[in-house]
Structure 1
Amino acid sequence: MELKAEEEEVGGVQPVSIQAFASSSTLHGLAHIFSYERLSLKRALWALCFLGSLAVLLCVCTERVQYYFHYHHVTKLDEVAASQLTFPAVTLCNLNEFRFSQVSKNDLYHAGELLALLNNRYEIPDTQMADEKQLEILQDKANFRSFKPKPFNMREFYDRAGHDIRDMLLSCHFRGEVCSAEDFKVPVQVAKETLRLSTLPSPGLHTIWKVLYIQLGPRWASTAEDHEGWDWQWAGDNAGHPAG
């Protein structure tokens, strides 16, 4: 008997109508749309206003989310006038210490191992990692059959195969005047760099500096005449792998 009474009690619960839910909802306008009145112009206008407001809300939220993911930022600049401007020191750090196109067969014969292009048996190491076109050129240059080596000078190689400011400087203006490669002087200070690098156990280009230092001597250092506001350092002072 008790079980049957509980079933009748549960079965007698009626779901809440949408009119009852709308009348108790705090959502503005919902009670006017789903009212107990018959369909009228008033209910249609309330429904139209409600749907329009909902559409505007969705558009604004979508636009704000898209704006956020564009990650806009503001950069503020302060302009300061200076009566005299000193040209800053410029250092170009090339990844390639030497231009591969300028390396000759004689250079490879004498300094191929120092350039990390050949091993101690005059063979090309790690051929599978090299560029196909450069590997073909290197194989042709590394063919020393019936080759008669010529005297080799590290300073001449450095000047010939190193980077030239005339090839790298595309445009230059300072204090409203046009400047060119002739306005720059290249200070070469190998002695200090060699003393610093000679303490490192790393192979490759460090060895080149040691050989260069031995051939040229500790006095091979030239400092150019400094123009007012000019200071320039050659890109070759920052070493990288020469292949490329």
Structure 2
Amino acid sequence: MDLKEGCGSEASRETESGGMGSLGGPTSWQSFAHRSTLHSLRFIFPYSTSSSPYRSTSRRLLWSAALLASLVLLVLESTERLAYFLSYPHVTSVDAMVSGSLVFPAVTVCNLNAYRFTRLTQNDLYHAGELLALLDVHLQIPEPHLAEPHVLAFLTEKSNFTNYRPKPFSMQEFTERVGHDLKEMMLYCRFQGQECSHQDFKTHLPRSFIYVFRRAPRNAFWPRKTQTKPFQSIFGSIIC
């Protein structure tokens, strides 16, 4: 009888102590808030005694407002920085230096009017009329009403191929004869304080005259062998 009463008393004490622990102990969220390193979280969800100042409602509201304001500022700043990053910002810095003398590896001069119209012959029109867009594939004048009177008269005379017997045609000979001569185009030339002439230019003949000026300055090294580039490659350095 005493044993049963002792067991019953011990069980009742355990039940009471367990009930008090469940009623007065911290919840799982309060335990997490207390162990968290996030500032002010443990002050918003305290589980200390009722006499503790951290259980004051006003203090909890102040801490909650401070935490909420910090989170709002964090979200706004992060959003603004992310939008700035996605705009792919870049800064271009350009330094301009004024020099009284520039050293050019090469200066290329051309005439966009590749051929002289007045030098064309009947044989030139027969072989290269379509290439020059002066005649069509049938050796006829395309859209004669758009041509100027003197041009139309010249083409009409030269494009009469009735009973005409064409002669051999050479594109190089045609370019040398009909192309623009630099000696006739140049009025004045001066480079780095020195006079220059058409003899200082090297002539290239891909399909029209291309004149390359290359005069080495004093104490400068220039390659002995130079490779002639195609017309398309040196077109970017052309001065017209």
What TM-score comes out, normalization by structure 1 length? 0.43
Structure with higher RCO (Cα < 8 A, 6+ apart): 1
What TM-score comes out, normalization by structure 2 length? 0.44
**Which has the larger Rg?**
2
